[in-house]
Amino acid sequence: MKTILSATCVALLAAAAPADSNIDTTDRFAWSENAGWLNWRDAGDPAGSSGVRIGATFLSGFIWAENVGWINLGDGAPGSGGGTSQHYANLDGADFGVNRDPLSDELFGYAWSENGGWINFDGGAAAMPANPARIDTAGGACRLGGFAWAENLGWINLDDAAHFVALDPSVCGNLPGDMNCDGAVNVLDINPFVLALSDPIAYAAMFPGCNISNGDIDGDGSLTVLDINPFVALLSGG
């Protein structure tokens, strides 16, 4: 218990660590009539170090748009910069970003561009017919789909069949927080989560069909003590 409490304290105090992009190295472009090509991966030096990363419940990093420059999808620490929530609040400029619904895989919330203004990832849901921005896994795909709406740029097309943003397979196919692989996230996942955190080998032996990355709630690429608070938030729906 002391170990878990200590780990929780560490998670509360630690700043969010940067993580490399999990966007595909080849299929990484989306299109906007006014913003031009949008590169979702290559931001940063080295390339990809500040590119977009898709976590279990939120996105972070930067897109480069050839006509408008940088687009910020979030700082990777929702909860007014403190990393205390699973979603950006999007109530003001202090805590904005694009969120992911871990059940439907739809994207929502706002990105920001100095030259393009606010970009609404809920926008596609209001289109006729509705085509929300989302992570699309139909037919074994692992890519972005749908549309986002930018107040100064118009539609951003994530839905094109030929030019699209593909994702690392680790982003798709697993339910974040479902540590016993029963298809739901609930209190029955608590003990498996603790086991995976404390003894990954024992977890793999007890749950051979489960992916330990289901516990990577903060989307930094590994299961660590920094996932404790996001896991609790996922269970409580907060």
Structural domain boundaries in the chain: 2-14+174-236, 23-171
Neighbouring C-beta atoms of residue 20, cutoff 10 Å: 18
Structure tokens at 222: 């590994």
- Convert the pLDDT of each residue in 106-149 to its tens digit: 999 999 999 999 999 998 877 778 899 999 988 778 999 999 99
Rounded CA separation 197/236 (Å): 19
Confidence tier at 182 by pLDDT (50, 70, 90): low
Structure tokens at 91: 């109530």
Place of tokens 């298809």: 183
Q: Mean pLDDT, to the nearest integer, of 160-182?
A: 84
Q: What is the pLDDT of residue 37?
A: 97
Neighbouring C-beta atoms of residue 10, cutoff 10 Å: 13
